Structures are given as C-alpha cells and as structure tokens.
C-alpha cells in the first residue's frame, strides 16, 4: 500500500518568530504529517535565534520536523539535531566543507542528515554529485527544480 505525506515548509528567514510558531502549530493541528522549517542565513545570530525558535516549536507541535539551516561546522549539525528535529537539511550549494557530510553521518547517522540540491546548479555534474553523496552516505536527498521525463 502506498501513501503520501503532507509536508509543508516554512521559510523562517526574515519572518517574525511568533508568526513562524503560529504557522507551525496551524499545520500541525491541521493534519500535516511533518514540517520542514528552514533559515539558511549565514549570520550566526540569526542561526542561533532560528534554532532557539525550533526548540520552542518542538514543544508546541506533535509531528516530526526537519530543520534546514546553514552548516559551517559539525557543532551546527549537533545544535540543529538537539532542537528536537527528526533530521537536519543541509543545502549542498552553501556547504563549504563537503567532508562535513561524512563526519555528520558518521556521528549522527544517515537518517539524521538530508541534503538539498537545486538541480539547475548541478545539471552537468549529476554523475559526479551522485558519487560524492553515496561516498558520504547521505540518507535523503531533496531535489529541487528537476526536469522530469516519462522515464523518471
């Protein structure tokens, strides 16, 4: 039996924390299966505020959520996981140290790390990228802006 999940996303960049919390609660109470909360700001203060908000959200909702944030070091992955999130989404294009993927999956497990890829940036290097991601043992990849063919 196949099933579908409803996973709304909330862009917390430049939004008021109270609005993000209210939206997360609304989705949770409205029947969403999971949430994807993200703020890819490179600013340390913004990232810390976002992760603090995620901790609050984890206490207010009863569905799993994934945190998408800028990751510069392994400590950032740990902080994101400790918010109560089910997983951490890393935006591959923003990842300066690709070896960090391997370190994070070895420490926290493949199910805790997801990678977001914008396929418009990697059309010419898909095979190389696939090899890199399998080498780092990433559990889940979210593909954005892909062109689907009948064979996909």
pTM given for the model: 0.82
Give pLDDT tens digits for 109-119. 888 998 887 76
Give the pLDDT mean for 45-62. 96
What was the pLDDT predicted at 152?
Answer: 45
- Residue 111 or 124, more confident: 111
Report the alpha-carbon distance of residue 126 to residue 8 in Å, rounded. 27
Q: Please write down the HEC assignment for all residues of the chain.
A: CCCCCCCCEEECCCCCHHHHHHHHHHHHHCCCCCEEEEECCCCHHHHHHHHHHHHHHHHHCCCCEEEEECCCCHHHHHHHHCCCCCEEEEEHHHCCCCHHHHHHHHHHCHHHEEEEEEHHHHHHHHHHHHHHHHHCCCCEEEEECCCCCCCC
Give residues with Cβ within 8 angstroms of 68, minimum separation 6.
36, 37, 38, 39, 40, 88, 89, 90, 91, 116
Between CA 113 and CA 110 the distance in angstroms is 6
Query: How many degrees, rounded to 5, is the angle at CA 112 between CA 46 and CA 147?
Result: 85
Q: 87 forms bridges with which residues in the sheet?
A: 66
pLDDT digits (tens, 9 = 90+) for 69-94: 999 999 999 999 999 999 999 998 89
Residue 22 banded pLDDT, cuts 50, 70, 90: very high
């Amino acid at each position: 039996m196949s099933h579908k999940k409803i996973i709304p996303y909330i862009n917390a960049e430049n939004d008021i924390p109270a609005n993000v919390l209210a939206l997360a609660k609304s989705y949770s109470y409205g029947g969403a299966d999971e949430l994807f909360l993200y703020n890819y700001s490179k600013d340390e203060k913004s990232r810390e505020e976002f992760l603090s908000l995620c901790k609050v959200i984890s206490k207010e909702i009863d569905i799993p959520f994934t945190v998408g944030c800028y990751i510069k070091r392994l400590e950032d992955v740990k902080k994101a996981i400790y918010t109560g999130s089910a997983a951490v989404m890393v935006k591959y294009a923003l990842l300066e140290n690709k070896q960090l993927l391997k370190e994070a999956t070895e420490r926290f497990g493949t199910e805790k790390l997801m990678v977001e890829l914008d396929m418009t940036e990697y059309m010419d290097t898909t095979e190389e990228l696939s090899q890199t991601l399998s080498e780092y043992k990433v559990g889940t990849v979210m593909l954005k802006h892909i062109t689907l063919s009948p064979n996909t």
